[in-house]
Each structure stands twice: as C-alpha cells, then as structure tokens.
Structure 1
Amino acid sequence: MLVNIPYYHAVGKEKEVFEHAYKNKIPFLLKGPTGTGKSRFVEYMAHQLDKKIITISCHEETSSTDLIGRFIIKGAETVWLDGPLTTAVKEGAIIYLDEIAEARPDVIVAIHSLTDHRRELFIDKLGETVKAHDDFMLVASFNPGYQRGFKELKPSTRQRFIAVSFEYPETKIETEILVKETNVDHDVAKKLVAIGNKIRNLTELGLTETVSTRLLVDAAKIIHSGLPKRLSVHVAIVEPLTDDLQTVEALKDLCDLMI
C-alpha cells in the first residue's frame, strides 16, 4: 500500500529540535503567522516518528470537555466517551492543539498537568487521574499576531514548552515548495513568490494578515490546472486578504504588472 508522505522543506533545525523534544518528553510550541507550514510540519514529524497524530483546531468555543470527554446517552445507559486528548494520553499519540490561544481558558488549565513533570490528566467528571503513555506528546501552535488581551498565552503556559518560530521561507525555498506541491512551472512559481514578498512588504496597506505560503500554493494549483494566471492570482491571493474595495483594486493592479 502506498503511503502519502507529507512534504515538508526544513528551513532550519526544527526537525532536530522536535526529535529531541519528543525524546525528552517536553511539549512543543510552534509560533508564527498563518500559512507558514506549522501544521504540515507536525504532520511530517508524526510520519517521521511513525506516530498517530490527533489534531484539534481550537476556537473560542473549544472547552476542556471537548478535549477530555463526556457522558453520553447510549440506549438506556449513560456511558463515558473519551475525548481526543484522553485518547492521545492513553494510546501514546501526538496531540496537536492548533491555535491553542483561541480555546477557552479551561483548556489551558486542563493541559497544565500534562506539560510538566507529572505528565498526567485529571478527569474531574470521573474523579480519575490518567498517567500519560510513555510515547505521548503534546504539541501546540499559535499566531502571535492574533493575540489581543485575554487571548494572549500567559508566561506560566508558554514556559512549559520548547518553542520554535516559523516565518515565511526565503525566496528560493518557497519557490521550491510551490513547484513540489503543485508541479507548476518554475518561472510561474518564482513570479508568485515575488508577488507574495512584495505584498508582505506593503505595510502601509494595514492588512490584518499578509500573503501566506498556503495562498501561493493555492494560486499555483489553479494555474497548473489551467485557470488564467491573472484570474488565479486575483481569486487565490488578493481576494482572501481583504474586503476593502480600494485595497483590492490596488493589489490587483500590482499583481497584474508582476504576473
């Protein structure tokens, strides 16, 4: 059976750092803007280590109950159903909490005992404490650019992790990523990366988020499948960035000149 190996291009020593964190049972935190390859990196490392990965995309409604588990009605009985975090703790999987700062505060409280020397999970509804499997690893990510006030990770939480910062790759590497991911022509990939870098440097536009590698990959995919280049750049890069009509038109004009 063919195994689909996640593609990841290392930009530093992040692989080695992750491996040592796993070996020493230390939680791992990925910091960086959206679309810089954080989730792909975790998938890649799980494959390299031959470990099951359970991913939770955290949001403002994500609670500790969603992660730990709950009682459900099954026929005439009330039974306990383990949540994804409890499952990972018991089975020795990698649990990946994507955008952890978006989750409710009780999630942070729930994982504290898993991120220090105790490596245990307390299930209050059962009155039980579960010791983590020897292979269990907790990985989390967050985007510092999103953090405002109550969503900021506290030092008491951050200092429980080994942390690595993710940024947009340098031009050569980002071009290689586009070609590898989409089979698009190298010259087209190079132009898309140039557009991405140009927009990233336009700080005067006041964009909440800038062009991610993910957006460039999407543009390359639809160009490779036959959609005209200018239209592809408009719908895959410009439109997702902003709803301001003047900014959209300015970005379209800029991209038309560069593509």
Structure 2
Amino acid sequence: MTMQRFDVAATFGVKARPGFEVQGFADDTHPQIPVKQPYVFRNELLRDVLAYLHDANGDGMFLTGPTGGGKTSLISQIAARLNWPVQSVTCHGRMELTSLVGQFVLVNGSTQFVHGPLSVAARDGHLLILNESDLMDPSELAGLNDILEGQPLVIAENGGEVIKPHPRFRVFATGNSAGAGDASGVYQGVLRQNLAFMDRFRVVHVGYPDAEIERQVILSSVPKIPGEIADRMIRVADEVRRLFMGSDIEAGELTVTMSTRTLVRWASLSLTFKGAPNVFHYALQQALTARAEPEQREAIHRIAADVFGDYWEAAA
C-alpha cells in the first residue's frame, strides 16, 4: 500500500507546530478502514498513539481506563483519518488463540484454512485492536508474545505457514484494568494477565475527558442540544463518577457510572423525546439508571434534579 503524509493539525483538528506530519495510507477505499465520525482528540493521547504508530520498537500499546472513556474510539478515529485498516476483536473468557490466528472452516462443502484477524493484520500491515483484552484467558494471550517482539507468526495448523510481520503492523489492547485484575469487583470477568505478556506493552491511561472536551463531544454529536443543558449534564456525570470511583481506600458508593458514551446517549434521547414531560428524567432512565439498583437510581436522579433545578421538570 502506498504511504502518504498527513498534516497533524489539519487531520486531527488540534494545535500542532506548522509542518508536523505523520504517515498514513493513500488509499481510502479499503473496507477495513473505520468509518470517520466527529471526534474531539485530546492532545496528550493523540501524541502517544502517533508516536507508537511511527515507531513501535517491539512494543504493543495497552490502553486502560474506565468504561466508556474512549479507548477504542481513540484508535479507530485516528486510523480513520490516516486510512489505516483495522482488525478489531472483542475478547471474552472463552476465546482461544486460534480465533485470532485462523482455523479451518467449512466453505462450499470443503474445509479450508481462513486467516484470523491477527494473521491478516500482521501480513498486511493493519492495526490489530484487542478490545476488553483482560477478559481473555492469559495463557491464550501469551501466544502473542513472540509476534509482539517482531518474530514471525508460524501457523502450524496451515502446514507451518510463516507470516513475517509487516513493518506497519501494530497491536493495541484495551482493558478496564491494567492487567492486574479488578480489585473493585465492578468489572465482572476481568482476569489478572500474564506479567510477561503485559511487559511487552506501553501502557496509556485513558480517563474521562475534562469538562470542556466533553462539552465539545456532546455538541458535535448532538448539535441541537443547548449548551447550558450540556453543561448541566456534565456536572451530573462528574458527581456520578466521583461516587462510582470512591477513594483509594474505600469502594465507591455507586456500581454504575456515566461514561462519555452515556452522556451523549442522554443528550440524544433528550432531543428524541423533546416536548415530553420530565424529559431529562425519562431520557436519563433509558440512558443509564434503568440498569441501576433502585436505591442508586433514586440517588442519581436526585443528583440530576439538584443540578438541573427548574429544568428538571420541564420539557427539553
């Protein structure tokens, strides 16, 4: 694939020194390039990912942080703007390495070997994104150790096929933990990962955006929502997150939290049901609190009512 240089400021809508460019691909027609969507990039996270894309130096990149903080969307939207094809997989506790490498399947009455996302990404220079990687059995993930260091991928099942990693091949993993398991007990199914596997990754924490960035995200995704309403929604989200996170020595008082994704959903639903009585209450229930325990649901709605004041009982 033909490479192309992209101006960072123009491509990502951020402040960057004049002439600062990064490499991507010229062909924007590949079916595995993510769909470009409105996105507000945070400078420090963009910097870290672009540095890794420029030179992996034998590393993978592990993005950790709370649910809905934008870990996967960060990578996907960078790839979308650089025309970089992506192989994205959501991991789970029963996933085996063969699901990533490839396996024999029945095609038109005969069996043939079909390469998995890892093999395709390594062969063609795509990005491999392992979403929720800390849900996967660490003994299976350890099978990636060699290829992360640049060693060839040997597929014994396919007659010993050898795939030499493409120079542009990169591996991203995301998780709500940083590989050490979930001490809070909130993220069910998270497993402690193999130390040797985690040692092969650069680790970047993706927290929730600050209020100004989150405001931009809401207004770009739901442009008809009034700015004052968006600000009040963000204030509610901050308080919910504070009660969810707790402190270093005490667990949080809530077992649900309000991600940026949930904020956008709340804003969008508020417009969907515009004109209905108690619209913000109703939209919040669909966006988040219907899955909370009754006491927690009541607490979150009480927080929202206090923040919204007279707006709470009004129509959008």
TM-score (norm 2): 0.74
- Determine the C-alpha separation between the residues in 2 that align with 1:171 and 1:27: 30
- Determine the C-alpha separation between the residues in 1 that align with 2:157 and 2:136: 20
The equivalent residue for 1:113 is: 146
Q: Which moved more, 1:246-255 or 1:176-185?
A: 246-255
The equivalent residue for 1:211 is: 258
- Determine the C-alpha separation between the residues in 2 that align with 1:152 and 1:258: 39
Alignment of 1:242-253 (within 5 A): 242=292, 244-253=293-302
Alignment of 1:98-137 (within 5 A): 98-118=131-151, 120-126=152-158, 127-137=160-170
RMSD of aligned residue pairs (Cα, Å): 2.4
Deviations 1:189-222 (A, max 9, x none): 1111010011112237633342111111100111
The reply on whether 1:192 has 2:233 as its aligned counterpart is yes
Give the conservation status (yes or no) of the 8 Å contact 2:91–2:136: yes
- Determine the C-alpha separation between the residues in 2 that align with 1:170 and 1:124: 48
The equivalent residue for 1:239 is: 290
**TM-aligned CA deviation for residue 155 of structure 1:** 2.8
The equivalent residue for 2:192 is: 152
Aligned-residue sequence identity (percent) comes to 22
Name the aligned partner's letter for residue 217 of structure 2: I
- Determine the C-alpha separation between the residues in 1 that align with 2:254 and 2:97: 33
Q: Which moved more, 1:126-135 or 1:138-147?
A: 138-147
2:212 partner SS: helix
1:96 partner SS: strand
Deviations 1:131-182 (A, max 9, x none): 1112211111111189248812333222211221111111121111111111
**TM-aligned CA deviation for residue 237 of structure 1:** 2.7
Q: Which has the higher contact order (CA 8 A, sep 6+)?
A: 1
The equivalent residue for 1:167 is: 207
For structure 1, the 5+ residue unaligned runs are none
- Determine the C-alpha separation between the residues in 2 that align with 1:58 and 1:16: 26
2:39 partner SS: coil
The reply on whether 1:258 has 2:307 as its aligned counterpart is yes
- Determine the C-alpha separation between the residues in 2 that align with 1:213 and 1:71: 40
